[in-house]
Amino acid sequence: MTQSTVAAPAIGVFDSGFGGLTVLRALLAHLPRARFAFLGDTARLPYGSKSRRTIARYAVESAQFLVGEEGAEFLVIACNTASALALDAIQTAVPAIPVLGVIEPGADAAQAASQSGDVLVIATDATVQSHAYAAACRARGLRALEKACPLLVPLVEEGWTSHPVTEQVIRIYIDELLADARGASLNPDTLVLGCTHYPLLRTLIEAAVPPGMRVIDSAEAAAQAASRLIDGRAAAAPQPIFAASSAERIGLLPNPAPETCLRFFATDSVDKFQRLGSAFLGRPVPRVHLVDLGG
């Protein structure tokens, strides 16, 4: 694992809900000295059933909040749906800020895992309709079969991550996908969790897929990519590229206080975010600030 030792960049992490906390969890492991601001656009969730235009508007407003209000110097779009449909719009809105999505790292991880070259992808409706994963997989010489699983995000947001209803829903989706793969004469050996909410269902999903099938979570791959990018930029910069003081940058100062290292924002239901978010983050979620990004 690479760890950033020279820079303490301010990183903005964004998802429509708290699924993106699975990405933040991996980022914290890779970049322990970074300062993070996480925004969950819970008032407008789910993004996955909305149009490209609406998703782009919501995602741009969220990105502008993290950059404008929280001083983010680097953005991780911890949402497959926003990564698939709004990455260009976000980058255009904040041209000076490096923006990393989760689709390309997820496809890289699928390529590394698959021996047969055939992969399955489960994701939201909007992500599947964009065929962003199919394109990213094709560019890596993989064949991908994508399936929308629209019931899974609401079940996760409800906290039903090990509920019998969720187990049944997952079995139905996976069985349908495997039947489609047989119909298309594919020999899949890898399943990509193409939504940052799905890692919370990993146990149930692994129980539903055939033995030996690799299950890929793009959170870890995205955190590795972010870490490489940040370390690479810090090393290549002729002068400091992030706002942290030079003393902090070279490790002369202790890390900032936890509250300033890790700040959480949600556009609705802050209590629920704090209560259920800890399961995604793997540690208690401290105070969650309510923000209003409009309708």
Hey, which residues does 14 pair with through a beta bridge?
39, 77
Task: State in angstroms the smallest separation of the CB of 145 from ligand DGL.
Answer: 18
**Closer residue to ligand DGL in complex, CB, 193/288:** 193
Residue nearest to ligand DGL (CB): 48
For the four alpha carbons of 204, 210, 212 and 216, in that order, the dihedral sign comes to: negative
**Closer residue to ligand DGL in complex, CB, 124/161:** 124
CA 121 to chain centre: 15
Q: Where are the alpha helices (DSSP H) in the chain?
A: 21-30, 52-68, 80-93, 103-113, 125-130, 132-138, 152-157, 164-183, 202-208, 218-236, 246-249, 258-261, 270-281
Catalytic residues: 79, 195
Task: State in angstroms the smallest separation of the CB of 31 from ligand DGL.
Answer: 20
Task: State in angstroms the smallest separation of the CB of 289 from ligand DGL.
Answer: 20
Task: State in angstroms the smallest separation of the CB of 217 from ligand DGL.
Answer: 11
**Closer residue to ligand DGL in complex, CB, 120/234:** 120
Applying CB under 6 A, the residues found at the interface with ligand DGL are: 15-17, 19, 45-48, 79-81, 124, 127, 153, 195-197
Smallest Cα–Cα separation from 290: which of 54, 79, 273?
273
Give all strands of the β-sheet with 118-123 in edge-to-edge order: 143-148, 118-123, 190-194, 214-217
